Amino acid sequence: MTGTRDAVSDAFEQLDSDPAQAKRQANEILKATPGHPGAQLLLGMAASAEGDHLHAAAILAPLTVMQPRFAMAWLALGVACKGAGQPAAATDALNKAIALQPSLPCAWLTLAEVRFAAGDDIGADAAYLQHLHQSHHDPVLTRCFGLLTGNRLQEAAQLLDRRLRQQPGDVAAMRMLAEVEIRSGRNAEAIKLLERVLERAPGFDAARQNYAVALNRSNRYSEALGELDVLLGKQPDNQVLKSMRATVLGKLGEYETAIATYEGILQTNPERAELWLNYGHALKTAGRRDDSIAAYRRCIALRPEIGVAWWSLANLKTVRFLAADIAAMRAQLQRDDLDEDSRLHLEFALGKAQEDAGDYADAFIHYRSGNALRRRQLPYDADQARASTLQTMQACSHRFFAERAGSGCPAADPIFVVGMPRAGSTLIEQILASHPLVEGTMELPAIIAITRDLRLRDGNPGNTSYHEVLAGLDHDGLCALGEHYLERTRVQRKLGRPFFIDKMPNNFAHVGLIHLILPKAKIIDARRHPLACGLSNFKQHFARGQAFSYDLADMGRYYADYVALMAHFDQVLPGRVHRVIYEEMVDDTETQVRALLAYCGLEFDQRCLRFFENDRAVRTASSEQVRRPIYRDGVDQWRHFEPWLGPLKQALGPVLDAYPLPP
């Protein structure tokens, strides 16, 4: 008997990989032991695995008669009847399996699928939730959970892919695979998976929370807020959800509401360091500098190993660290258990501390260490970036624009400020936003999102230039893209002014797209000395993106590509872009401001010269710098670090000598 049991067990192990072999082994066992329940179950399941569901049901139905309390037999019969297109018989068999053994996750999942296919959304949701409740009994899902906990994402993805090929409706597996995608930065793929999950199981709150995270990371803030509100309607006291909502509100420009939300949470959770950190970010953006410093300090007092809190203080650009602060940061860097993210933030913060102290050699050592750590996290291919630049120049020819003259949305609302990061774009934004007809917003991701949407239209986004898709659009298609941009950015416009600013610097790569879809929009190129700009980027740890900025050679090549591309647009679209040279703005502010306003079609307004009195929220690293009058400190600061800027100079090549003109 033991031999037969072992033979059945061995045959079941063959079921997933080789159902035909499992069937042969089942028949051999039945020859030796006629009517053996395990072998008969295996034979029926093998037939189902091969797609012969009617034959499987014919094998399994007699087994349930002979063994009416055999839950697995009823489950297998339910799966067979579902596959054979017999929903009523499947439902009856699955209900019997569940009544005998409620902890069978597969029975609940199959029942959910039957109900979902029949249009019974409420019943399907209930069954899916029971499947989730019992999923800890599922060895595959338990294994996947362990892999996720251990951050072994590739192994988890492989196992989950295999599971979903076998059970395409497994919402637990789909949610876990979506989590893998989110952690890997593939938010679009995660969103698709989670939409499938929530279509089947709208009551799956963990999946909805993942969905809100993915939407937020995809810059779809209004949608993320809607999902969080659904969850908070069911869990009004959930502090994690409240904190997430406050973060999203900040990204939507609702800073005061976000601040009030954080304050409410902190009343009952004053020891949560990460809340003080996020609270500090919101206060900083709203211009409450002293309060933001106090919040960051509170975070550090609770958990001094949180490197981003130290960097947040340094990133204010106005805080000078004390000797005790420097000692505390050095002590944290000595820890063996310090995570890499905190380590790199501490390196950047120490770099700023030592720079302020005048120890430029040590400052550069820390900046270089922080950049090296970040560079490892964000791979960057300068050759690929250059190829993309050349591809854009080739696509955006004079003929290309001439053939599409008169296309696009005629709205003149947007003012785009583009260029390198840390080149003075926030200063330009603050000057313009001090005009009564112009509203400042932030670095809006809408144009970049449109380029991503265009690539997705091709069906092969990884190998498609969006210019190829753009070339196929007619007048109405280009106009629709412009209108879509306006609709997508409308949520950021709070003041009802006729013009608004989009200061995403990386949009310089998309000047051609902007011109085609919004031909009356203004485009301003913020340019700064390449060594000053390059060093400023090297000293800056960005919250996300800007992968080129963590290596001096990469930085120089990126800057050179930017100059070449903007020179190309100057040639094929003469006069379309207005350039502001940072050093000229510092030396002769009024002349430059008057020229800037004239380009935008705006009357001169004295308030634009007193931009530092504007108390609007500013969400960039320069937020505190633009709240004081223009100063010369940043013009020649790079000279302190010139001994170490060789790789940057070499990569810049002739661009350095020709500045401010292209070579």
pTM for the whole thing?
Answer: 0.77
| One CATH from 3.20.20.150, 2.20.28.90, 3.10.20.30, 1.25.40.10 for 2-137 | 1.25.40.10
CATH of 161-328, one of 1.10.540.10, 1.25.40.10, 3.30.1490.20, 1.10.1040.10: 1.25.40.10
- Up-side HSE of residue 312: CA atoms within 13 Å toward CB? 31
The pLDDT, as a whole number, for residue 616 is: 54
Task: Give me the phi and psi of 439, to 5 degrees please.
Answer: -110, 130
Q: Is the dihedral of CA 646, 652, 654, 658 positive or negative?
A: negative
SS3 annotation, 133-188: HCHHHCHHHHHHHHHHHCCCHHHHHHHHHHHHHHCCCCHHHHHHHHHHHHHCCCHH
With the CA atoms of 440, 445, 447 and 452 taken in that order, what torsion angle do they form, in degrees rounded to the nearest 10?
A: 180
Q: Which of 3.40.50.300, 3.40.50.2000, 2.60.40.1180, 3.40.50.720 is the CATH number of 407-658?
A: 3.40.50.300
Q: What is the pLDDT of residue 151?
A: 81
At 159-198, the pLDDT tens digits run 999 989 888 988 989 988 998 998 887 888 999 999 999 9
The predicted-structure confidence for 192-221, as pLDDT tens digits, reads as follows 999 999 999 999 998 999 999 999 988 889
Q: Given the structure tokens 């995660």, which residue do they identify?
A: 190
> Cα(430)–Cα(415) distance, rounded to whole angstroms?
13
Looking at 20-29, 291-300, 373-382, 604-613, which range is the least confident one? 20-29
Taking the C-alpha atoms of residue 354 and residue 346, their distance in angstroms, rounded to an integer, is 12
Q: Hey, CA dihedral for 88, 89, 91, 92, is it positive or negative?
A: positive
Other CB atoms within 10 Å distance of the CB of residue 477? 15
3-state secondary structure string across 268-324? HCCCCHHHHHHHHHHHHHCCCHHHHHHHHHHHHHHCCCCHHHHHHHHCCCCCCCCHH
Q: Which two tokens stand for residue 321?
A: 């660290």
The span from the CA of 508 to the CA of 417, in Å, is 8
Provide the pLDDT confidence category of residue 7 given band limits of 50, 70 and 90.
Answer: low
472-475: long-range contacts, CB 8 A cutoff, minimum separation 24 = 474/407, 475/404, 475/406, 475/407
d(CA 269, CA 192): 35
Residues 571-579: what's their mean pLDDT?
Answer: 97
Phi, psi of 336 (to 5 degrees): -80, -25
Give the model's confidence band at 110: pLDDT under 50 very low, under 70 low, under 90 confident, else very high.
Answer: confident
Cα angle value 380/382/387 (rounded, 5°): 125
| pLDDT tens-digit series, residues 319-355 | 999 999 999 999 999 999 999 999 999 999 999 999 9
Please check whether residue 280 is in contact with residue 292, taking contact to mean a CB–CB distance below 8 angstroms: yes
- 199 forms beta bridges with none
Quick one: pLDDT band at residue 572, thresholds 50, 70, 90? very high
SS3 content of the chain, % helix, strand, coil (to 5): 70, 5, 25
What pLDDT score does 627 carry? 47
Residue 536 vs residue 41, higher pLDDT: 536
Identify the pLDDT of residue 158. 92
Ramachandran region, residue 459 (left: φ > 0; alpha: ψ -120 to 50; beta: rest): left
Contact status, residue 63 vs residue 82, Cβ threshold 8 Å: no
- Where along the chain do its domains lie? 2-137, 161-328, 407-658
Domain 161-328 in the same topology as domain 2-137: yes
Q: Which residues contact 658 (CB under 8 A, 6 or more apart)?
A: none
